[in-house]
Every structure is written in C-alpha cells, then in structure tokens.
Amino acid sequence: MPFPTSDTIAARDNGAGRPRVSVIVIFLNVEAFLVEAIESVLAQTYEDWELLLVDDGSSDASTAITKDYAAQHPGKIRYLEHAGHGNRGMSASRNLGIGQARGEFLAFIDADDVWLPTKLADQLAIMDASPDLAMVCGAVLYWRSWSGGEDQVFPTGHVFDHMVFPPEAAIELYPLGSSISACPSDILVRKSAAERVGCFEEHFTGSRQMYEDQGFFVKLFLAAPVYFSTQIWLKYRQHPGSISAVVNNAGRYSEVRSYFLNWLESYLADRPETDQRVNDALSRALRPYRRPRTHHVLARLHRARQRCRVAIDRFIR
C-alpha cells in the first residue's frame, strides 16, 4: 500500500485551528508512570495534536502533575475531570475525553504506557491512504525490561498489513477468537467511527474494566474496516498494579469474561442483521458457562484429536 509522506500529512492538517489528532490519557493514581507517558506524546514526530488529560478522581500527585503540564502548554494540553473530582471508571473517562476532543482522529494512551516517536505519523499515513479505514494498530512490545524482566513482541490481529472487513476481526480476535486483540494505547481511530458505535461502554466498572476496551473493539470490528500493522509503536508496561494483573490475581477472570459475553449477547440480540458466524462464535464462547459438561466433553475430544494428529504426523515422517 503506498502511504503518504509526512509532508502530505501536514498538507491535510485542519486549517481552522483544530488539531488533527486528539490524544486522550486517562489516569487514576499513577504518579509513578504518568510523566513518562506524557513525555512520549510530546516526543512525537507528528505535532498537530492536542492532549487531553482525563483525571478519574486521583488522590495522589497525578492531579498536580497533569495540571502543571496543562499550564505549561495552554491550547495544546488540557486537564479534564469528572464532576466533583469523581471516580467514574475507565470507559466514562475515555468518553469524557472523546466528548471534548476537537480532532478528526482519536488516540489513547494509558498512563503507564509509552509511545515510540513515530507512532502518530506512521498511523496517520496508513489512515490517509485508506479513507474508509476506521482504526489502525500494530504489534505491541510487552514491556518488562523497565523492571528487569524480558520484553516480548506480540502481533495484534490474525492477518497483517491490509484492510480487514467486518465482521472478520470480531470473530478471529480475542475474546471470541484466539488471535490477540488490540491494545487501547496502540490504536488510532476516526472520531466519527467511534461515535457511530456509541464510544465506550460505561457499565464496565470495577473489575469489569478488564474488558472495557473489548466492548468498544467488538462494536467497531462489527461495523467498519480495521488494519493490523506489523510495525511496533507501543511499549505496553507490564506491572502488578494493572487491571489485568489485579483481576487475574484475584481469581475473577471467569466472572469478568462471563459478564462481557452476556452483555455482547444482549447487544447482538438488538441487531438481527448480525452475521451468523458472530453468533456462532459467541455461542462457543458462552458454552463453558451455560453448558459446562458439554464443554468439558468437547474439550476432551478436541485434545484427543490433536494428539492423534501429532501421532499421525510423527508416523508419516
């Protein structure tokens, strides 16, 4: 795919004084990581953006840090909060940012993550080459070396470097499929596309926030083309305070997944035009919760078939 150059992108910037990209950082008590995330936005090679810092009721130094950045960069960086400095959750905070965003595109970066410098420039080039494209994201660096661990790169999606039309991504990617889904901090999405699908689902609160991004992604994957690049633009920090780590360590993963699947069932029930393959994938995902004995038998049969295939392959060789 021939992508525009950075000069071409600059020529398309909105001349009305509005930034082309609205970057949204949501945060709650992350003073240890927040500056690094903000600085990675300031370091972008593409500069026509605004930064919206959305405070979800922090009680540590995060509020002061972000207000200071907003004071240093008036017109470029804005501080936002819920009424009464309330804690509304991740999805409500993302939606607050979207509601205040002036850009044609939305980018999110969680306060514990870090962007590589060409993230916005590279992703805008892909989006500009395909005006019908709703979202782009790339492979993700699972960042453990910051605390002495070993980094790993994981591809997002099931096919790479070309447009994926609905509902394919919804079927193939987690949580209905087996391929790795997008990371919110890595996406660039058209604001119009996000608004068409109703933005983020605000009922995913507390431990359910582990799936709050998946509620948005599945709606988008069912509605519009997306693009999974092989490029790496995100350092996705791995640490024990992340929502995924907290939920898994508390043994609540199945509960949260079940909540998501039941919500998705209700969402699809209102959309009879949904591709039957999506409904079939959802039925398979729900089977462990609705028909655990059947699921156990089928899982054993599947493992037995896999062992047979391995034995046959070894015999043929």
In this structure, what CATH number is given to the domain that contains residue 221? 3.90.550.10
For residue 1, is it within any domain?
no
CB 58 within 8 A of CB 27: yes
**Residues linked to residue 114 through DSSP beta bridges, in sequence order:** 235
Residue 7 banded pLDDT, cuts 50, 70, 90: very low
pLDDT at residue 293 tops 90: no
Q: Which helix (H) or strand (E) holds 192?
A: helix 191-196
**Residue 150 within any structural domain of the chain:** yes
| Number of neighbouring beta carbons within 10 Å of residue 150 | 7
Residues 288 and 142 occupy one common structural domain: no
Percentage with pLDDT > 70 across the chain:
87
Residues 153 and 240 grouped into a single domain: yes
Q: Are residues 79 and 224 in the same domain?
A: yes
Quick one: 99 and 123 in the same domain? yes
Q: Are residues 287 and 261 in the same domain?
A: no
Same domain, 211 and 301: no
Pair (95, 117) in one structural domain: yes
Which whole number is the average pLDDT over 222-251?
92
Q: What is the mean predicted confidence (pLDDT) over 155-166?
A: 97
pLDDT at 316 over 90: no
CA-to-CA distance for 13 and 5, rounded, in angstroms? 13
Res 130 pLDDT > 80: yes
Mean pLDDT of the chain: 91
Task: Tell whether 153 and 232 lie within a shared domain.
Answer: yes
> Do 122 and 199 share a structural domain?
yes
Phi first, then psi: give them for residue 74, nearest 5 degrees.
-65, 135
Would you call 231 helix, strand, or coil by DSSP?
A: strand
Residues 99, 166 within the same domain: yes
Structural domain count of the chain: 2
User: Which residue range forms the structural domain that includes residue 307?
Assistant: 276-316
Higher pLDDT, 165 or 239: 165
